[in-house]
Structure 1
Amino acid sequence: MNVSEAQLYYFSPTHTSKRVGEAVAAGLQAARLVENDLTHTPADDAILPSSSVAVVAVPVYRGSVAPLALERLQGLHGDGTPVVLLAVYGNRDYEHALDDLDRFMTERGFVTVAAGTFVGEHSYSTPQTPVAAGRPDVADLQLARRFGEKVRDKLAGYEPGRFVRLEVARIPRPELSWLDKLRFVWYGLGLKVSKKPMPVAPVTDPGQCNGCGVCAIVCPTGAIAAGNELHTDASRCIRCCACVKSCRRMARSFDTPFAKILTACCARPKQPHVLL
């Protein structure tokens, strides 16, 4: 099968999934590449033919595929269409996210032919509490592109509609050291005992905010209304922290104690893993 068309789908509030997906898609070297950004709008209702290749890149939130990403993929279906699955997690663990994404796409008529787990800067990462800061980095993206090239080579050996589904569970799971596991449990118990209220949404410093509206533009759920940037609707916020990372005046913050825990327990950089 020659890769004549590739369809890239990504949900990426802070651009980490987007960058990984674009690198893999570039490696496919398709004659026609279509990018579908699901960060603010759902995918068009469509059935992709088996002669196309889909690349789906999603962030992992708390060990699961971001629910909004799956919601915005609902209208997409395949017809024995090959798909490359990419889970981008914040250097802790992607847990069952890749399995769930594989099941979701399979139920919609796709065949998983390749999969990868990549590290992206954690949503909670800040200069004070860095967690995978700057990831995916140059090396990550180079690996992602080479992975795309290998997927292209693999597909060359198949006829459309005769793809073999990959067992994504074969990808190695990241692990914490015993010391880091103990730290994680210890910090977690400390939070539970303290009964300290957990923040539910980013807050805005009125002394720093100039009402530019960038936070409202980047928010994938409409939790921030233009003209009322000092308020965040906690019922709609998914804590992706796109608003925090996009604010040039650093007027927005999400002061969660989990950031310090992640910084302490997940400092060792984890590496991407791919499966063909």
Structure 2
Amino acid sequence: MKPETIHTVVFSPTGTSKKIASAVARGIASAAGTDPAETAPLRTIDLTHTAGASVTLPADTVAVIAAPVYGGHAAPTAVKRLETLRGEGTPAVVVAVYGNRAFEKAVAELAGLAVRQGFVPVAAGAFVGEHSYSTPETPVAAGRPDAQDLAEAAAFGAAVRKKLDAGNLTPVDAARLKDVRTPLLPMLRFIRFVLGYRRRQKKNPVVYLPAGDAGLCTHCGRCAAICPTQAIARGDEVHTDPARCIRCCACVKGCPVSARSFHTPFAAALARSFTRRKPPVIHL
């Protein structure tokens, strides 16, 4: 199969999923060779800030569908917005991007969604991106995807192109992708933290939200503009709507004066327990 167009379809509040999807798409395109006539154009459907109108991608297109992992699942907001997308037996590469802990069911969920929407998941992968909760004090996969990650994503794309060029549109079983194992002691330490956290929340519930520092905030409005769920109102940037916030921390990472912050005990627990670099996991 020679794709006429390669579409990246992303929900990516902090940009990590978009970087991986773009690298995969470039790999699919570049594997065709150097002749410009043989290179399919790249297009992007960015669902981060709006679901947009319903879009149908034809069978002569390849879709690279990427979304972040929240709590072991495909981000619910991403799933809802991806439901506006339709395929016509269109080959798709499904990619989940997680914060170095675990992707669990996320890739299989994205693949299942793709099938329901009319796509054929011909390849699947899980890649690591900087965790939403990562800060300089509590780093979790800080700086990822880095150059190595992006090179591996491009190589994955090139392998997908070889499969397509061979006329192989066999769907993959994304459930076969397995998490990279975390060493036993760090995992037990994290499980112990989670159990204790749940007990404390049951006795004394606490809602953790990103918030602004009134003394630092310049009311530039950037946090409101980049929030994917409109949880921050322009002119009231120090507050966050708890009913809308998905804790993606785009506002924290995107604030030009570091006026936004998010303090959750999970950040330190993740930073302590998941320090070992995890490689991507792919299936074609």
TM-score (norm: length of structure 2): 0.92
8 Å CA contact retained: 1:199, 1:254: no
Question: Pairwise mapping of residues 71-86 of structure 1 onto structure 2 (< 5 A)?
Answer: 71-86=80-95
Given candidates 35, 39, 60, the residue that maps to 2:44 is: 35
The correspondence for 2:106, drawn from 93, 97, 122, is 97
The structure 1 residue matched to 2:245, chosen from 225, 237, 241, is 237
Q: CA deviation at 1:181?
A: 1.9
Query: Aligned equivalents of 1:58 and 1:190: distance in 2?
Result: 30
Alpha-carbon distance, 1:46 to partner: 2.6
| Aligned equivalent of 1:140, options 111, 136, 149 | 149
Q: Find 2:188's aligned residue among 182, 192, 195.
A: 182
Give the secondary structure class of the aligned counterpart of 1:60.
strand
Change (3 A) 1:27 1:182: same
Distance across 2 between alignment mates of 1:226 and 1:193: 37
The answer to whether structure 1 residue 271 and structure 2 residue 279 are counterparts is yes
Percent identical: 50
What are the residue-to-residue correspondences of 1:117-136 with 2, within 5 Å?
117-136=126-145
1:108 aligns with 2:78: no
Aligned to 1:8: 8
Deviation at 1:24, TM superposition (A): 0.4
Contact 1:198 1:256 in 2 (8 A): no
After superposition, what is the alpha-carbon deviation per residue over 1:32-86, rounded to whole angstroms, capped at 9, x for unaligned? 2111111001153132221111110100001111111111111211111100001
Per the TM alignment, residue 187 of structure 1 is displaced from its structure 2 partner at its CA by: 1.8
Whole-Å separation in 1 of the counterparts to 2:230 and 2:131: 21
Report deviation, 1:200. Answer: 3.0
Deviation >4 Å, runs of 4+? 193-197
1:211 lines up with 2:223 in the alignment: no
Cα distance between partner residues in 1 of 2:188 and 2:6? 44
Q: Distance in 1 between matches of 2:171 and 2:133?
A: 35
* C-alpha contact (below 8 Å) 1:36/1:43 kept by paired residues: no
CA distance in structure 2 between the partners assigned to 1:43 and 1:270 by the alignment: 34
- Give 1:47's aligned amino acid: T
**Partner residue, 1:262:** 270
SS of residue in 2 equivalent to 1:260 = helix
Q: Write the distance in 2 (CA, Å) between the matches of 1:126 and 1:199.
A: 19
Structure 2: give runs of 5+ residues left out of the alignment: 30-38
Question: Does 2:169 correspond to 1:169?
Answer: no
CA contact (8 A) 2:209 2:263 kept: no
Shift of 1:3: 2.1
How far did 1:248 drift?
2.0
1:171 deviates by: 2.1
Measured in 1, the distance between the counterparts of 2:27 and 2:199 equals: 49
* Structure 1 position 89, deviation (Å): 0.2
The answer to whether 1:50 aligns with 2:63 is no
State the secondary structure of the residue aligned to 1:268. coil
Q: Tell me if structure 1 keeps the 8 A contact 2:224–2:230.
A: yes
In 2, the alpha carbon distance for the partners of 1:93 and 1:177 equals 13
Cα distance between partner residues in 2 of 1:190 and 1:265: 15
Equivalents in 2 of 1:177, 1:78: separation in Å? 40
Please state whether the residue corresponding to 1:264 is helix, strand or coil: helix
